[in-house]
Amino acid sequence: MKLLVVVLCYRVPDLTIDCLHSLSGEIDRIPSARVAVCENGTGGDAADRLRRAIDENGWESWVDLTVVEINRGFCGGNNLVIRAALESDDPPEYVLLLNADTIVQEHALDALVDFMDAHPKAGIAGSRLLSPEGEVQASPFRYQGIASELDRGLRLGVITKLVAPPLDVDPSRPSRAEWVSGASQILRTSMLEQIGLLDEGLYTYFDDIDICLRAERAGWEVWFVPESKVVHLEGASTGIKGSTPQRPKRRPTYWFQARRRFFLKNYGKLYTALADAAFLCGFAVWRLRRPIQRKPDLDPQHFLADSFRNSVFRTGFAVREVENPAMAAPSPVPTKTT
């Protein structure tokens, strides 16, 4: 197999079907390509709706559906499909991780495959992500570190230019990147065999930056391929962008846990403590400055308190796996006593 496209569905069967519609016009451009959909524990009639869409549209020749009962997160769900494909009689040369909340544009797939074929040192490449209005979303990125965490908290344009300037990429041609978004990220399977699959201990977030960093440390290159264009309904599949257009909803605990795991396992205790301190100090200053400057409050609810609560200063320095909320035991129902 040349290419396996993996689409993970969790609570978004309609978006997944829209994604498959966009893939139906592009999959034939690549000989020996398939799409694997993993219904990742949504429950209800989600799996039946996906099966019905595959049957009614005649997609069964190029789409396979895997259904799991309990949500395994982005990393676990993707790994389940990838691992089975690598152990099959016809393992793919490349794996494309594609969010369910995406719509691939013309030549989005073959542009990535052609690039990887022409650049054997490239282990990972990412698409140009666009909003539904056609605006370019932020990707590729620089690695996160102490300086970037200070900048993320302070939100001063002058500081950004000094300590965390964005990558200077040419939108007309491929360019090297530090890391690219996992919303549309192609992986060379020979690289995966060397460095391993996604870190399931991260559960859902920071998996894309983590695998890019691991690839680079193993000698592989990471690239941004603007010819591959993908519309990304950012946050639609996770809801992290918020419950209102004005202010994002509260960031889930597993986001903070994934961030802490990423920093601790890749940079160590001292560096993580400094990164936590840099963000907390910078963000506290921003929260004081925001009302004085009459800036709108667009931060996730309780973000400063949650950031401190989940920092190494409160949770310690052990490298822990993110707690899968789907596996958490329900709280006991209180009983009334007399």
Token readout for 282 is 């910078």
How does pLDDT run across 112-160, given as a tens digit for each residue?
Answer: 999 999 999 999 999 999 999 999 997 799 999 999 999 999 998 777 7
pLDDT of residue 328: 72
**pLDDT over threshold 90, residue 73:** yes
Whole-angstrom Cα Rg for the chain: 21
Q: Which H/E stretch holds residue 296?
A: none
Q: Which of 161-170, 171-180, 221-230, 236-245 is predicted with the least confidence, judged by mean pLDDT?
A: 236-245
User: Which residues are CB-neighbours of 147 under 8 A, at least 6 positions away?
Assistant: 163, 164, 278
Helix, strand, coil percent values for the chain (each to nearest 5): 40, 20, 40
Secondary structure (3-state) at 111? helix
Cα-based distances in Å from 80 to 248, 279, 309? 31, 35, 32
Residue holding tokens 């990220």? 185
Element (H, E) at 83: helix 73-86
Q: In the predicted model, what is the mean pLDDT of residues 260-273?
A: 98
Bridge partner residues of 40 (DSSP): 68
- Tell me the whole-structure pTM to 2 decimals: 0.92
**What does the alpha-carbon distance between residue 60 and residue 10 come to, in Å, rounded to a whole number?**
21
Please tell me what DSSP assigns to residue 239: -
With 0-12 / 13-18 / 19 or more C-beta atoms within 10 angstroms meaning exposed / middle / buried, residue 56 is exposed
Per-residue confidence band for 338, with pLDDT thresholds at 50, 70 and 90: very low
Helix, strand or coil, per DSSP, at residue 146:
helix
Residues contacting residue 99 through CB under 8 Å, at least 6 positions apart: 7, 8, 19, 182, 183, 184, 232, 237
Report which secondary-structure segment, H or E, holds 265: helix 253-267
- Reference 198, options 186, 190, 210; nearest CA is 210
- Domain layout of the chain by residue ranges: 3-139+177-232, 142-170+244-326
Spatial contact of 299 and 279, defined as CB atoms under 8 Å apart: no
**Three-state DSSP state, 294:** coil
13 against 235, higher pLDDT: 13
Q: How many CA atoms lie within 13 A of 220 on its CB side?
A: 24
Question: What kind of fold does domain 3-139+177-232 have according to CATH?
Answer: Spore Coat Polysaccharide Biosynthesis Protein SpsA; Chain A (3.90.550)
Residue 140 preceded by cis peptide, ω within 30: yes
